[in-house]
Amino acid sequence: MAARGGGLGARDRAHSVARVKDEIDRRWDDVGQFIREQRNLGELSLRRLSEMAGISNPYLSQIERGLRRPSAEILQQIARALQISAETLYVRAGILDEPTGVFDLVAEIRRDPHLSEEQKKTLVRIYDSFRRENGNPPPGEAPVGGMGRSSANDD
C-alpha cells in the first residue's frame, strides 16, 4: 500500500513539474511576442532592432518566436534598443515578480497637493484606461465584469 501511495505522489509531482514547465514556456513565448509588438510599434525591422541591441538577426528572430531564452543581459540590451524598461521584460520572462506597488501610484496621485480633484480623477481614469487597453485590468478591478475602483469612477 505504501508503494502505491508513493507512486501517486510521484505522478502528482510529475504533473506539477509539467505545469511549471508549461508556465515557463508560456512566459517566454509572451516575452517574444511582446518584443515583436514593441518592435512593430517602433516601426523597426528585425534587422534594425538586432543591430541596435547588438545581437544577431537570427537570434532575435528566435527570441521573438519563443525558441530561445535570452539572458537578463540580452533582455536589457533589447529593452534599451526598444526604449522600454528592462524590468518590463524581466517581469514578463518571470525573472522578476510583478511589482506590487501599483496601488501606490493611485495613492500618490490622490495625495498630491498640487493637483485639483478633477486632475486627480482624470489621471486615475487615464491610467485605468491604459491598463484595460493593454489587457490588464486596473488594480482592484476584476478582469471581466468586475467592479472597479468606485472612488476613481465617482464624479
Domains, the chain: 2-93 (1.10.260.40), 102-153 (no CATH)
Three cell numbers written together for 83: 526604449
What is the grid cell recorded at 132? 484595460
The larger pLDDT score, comparing residue 61 to residue 7, is at 61
Q: Are 79 and 85 in contact (CB under 8 A)?
A: yes
User: Model confidence over 21-42: pLDDT tens digits?
Assistant: 666 666 667 889 989 999 998 9
| Nearest Cα to Cα of residue 31 among 81, 95, 105 | 95
φ and ψ of 100, to 5 deg: -100, 0
The x, y and z cell numbers of residue 95, run together, are: 525573472
Tell me the HSE value of 112 on the side-chain side, using a 13 A CA sphere. Answer: 17
Strands, DSSP E only, in the chain? none
Residue 45: the pLDDT is 96
Q: What is the mean pLDDT of residues 123-144?
A: 78
- Predicted pLDDT of residue 7: 54
**Mean pLDDT over all residues of the chain?**
78
pLDDT value at 17 more than 60? yes
Given this model, what pLDDT does residue 40 score? 93
Instruction: Supply the pTM of this predicted model.
Output: 0.53
**Residue 126 predicted with pLDDT over 50:** yes
Measured distance CA(147)–CA(155) in Å, rounded? 16
Please check the confidence at residue 5 and state whether its pLDDT lies above 80.
no
Q: How far is CA 109 from the centre of its chain?
A: 23
Element housing 128 (H / E): helix 117-133
- For the segment 65-121, what is each residue's pLDDT rounded down to a tens digit? 989 888 889 999 999 999 888 888 888 777 776 665 555 677 788 888 888 999 989
Output the nine-digit C-alpha cell for 126. Answer: 487615464
Helices 72-82/46-53 angle, 10° precision: 120
